[in-house]
Amino acid sequence: MLSTTPRTRLGREKHRGSTDRNDLYEVLDTGLFCHLGVVADGHPMVVPTGYGRVGETLYLHGSTGARSLRAGEGTEVCVTVTHVDGIVLARSVFNHSVNYRSAIIYGRARMVTDEEERLEGLRALTEQLAPGQWDYARQPSRKELAATAVLALSLEEASVKIRRGAPNDEDEDYALPVWAGVLPLETSWGVPVPDPVLPEGMDVPVHISGRR
């Protein structure tokens, strides 16, 4: 069950809200990038970045010098993950919409200092972007770890919105001779492109070529 706080209470389109934690996990676990919002020098700053989830914690990372992470340490952040599934073509311009699934998480980001948790967070981040790569590629050196900031954000304060299905038109518009429906947006993995300097004859591992 997702909690409701003044920030996560849905002001608009309440019917699109979900209070099922499994929906939250599904939106997060199938995403690649989030948009991290921080307040920097009094103004909002939104940067795309990777993330990973372990249970009730979202992990973010970045260079120890990145401005967005410096602003985020110990301060309030907002992390949003959005999937666009299709364009909803209504009979009126006003009722055009988007089929989407989005999660918004609010909280105070915590800089992770425990080495074990840092590794667990980085593993989750890597596996979110590229499943199977943490064990396949070279793992971080001491120097690389020192250059990486890992932030943790609790999933305690989160909201999920989902829109699916056909357009909702005004009663009087259904008689219009206008086609209406959904144009699905589909994403898929393409054919892996080898690094040009890769030795010839090296097969693409199945965890990459077979990714779904």
146 near its own copies (CB under 8 A) = no
118 near its own copies (CB under 8 A) = no
Size of the site for its own copies (CB under 8 A): 91
Bridge partners (DSSP) of residue 63 are 148
Contacts of its own copies in 2-61 (CB under 8 A) = 7, 11-12, 32-33, 35-40, 42-48, 50
Distance in angstroms (rounded) separating the CA atoms of residues 193 and 44 = 37
Least distance between its own copies and beta carbon 1 (Å): 23
Distance in angstroms (rounded) separating the CA atoms of residues 18 and 144 = 39
Span near its own copies by CB under 8 A; candidates 20-28, 52-60, 110-118, 201-209: 201-209
Bridge partners (DSSP) of residue 101 are 83, 162
- Number of residues assigned to the chain: 212
Least distance between its own copies and beta carbon 35 (Å): 4
**Residue 65 contacts residue 146 (beta carbons within 8 Å):** no
Build a one-symbol-per-residue string for 93-112: x at contacts with its own copies by CB under 8 A, - elsewhere: xx-x-x-x-x-x-x------
DSSP element (H, E) containing 34: strand 34-40
Span near its own copies by CB under 8 A; candidates 15-23, 52-60, 74-82, 110-118: 74-82
Least distance between its own copies and beta carbon 59 (Å): 14
Amino acid at 70: R
164 token code pair: 């699916």
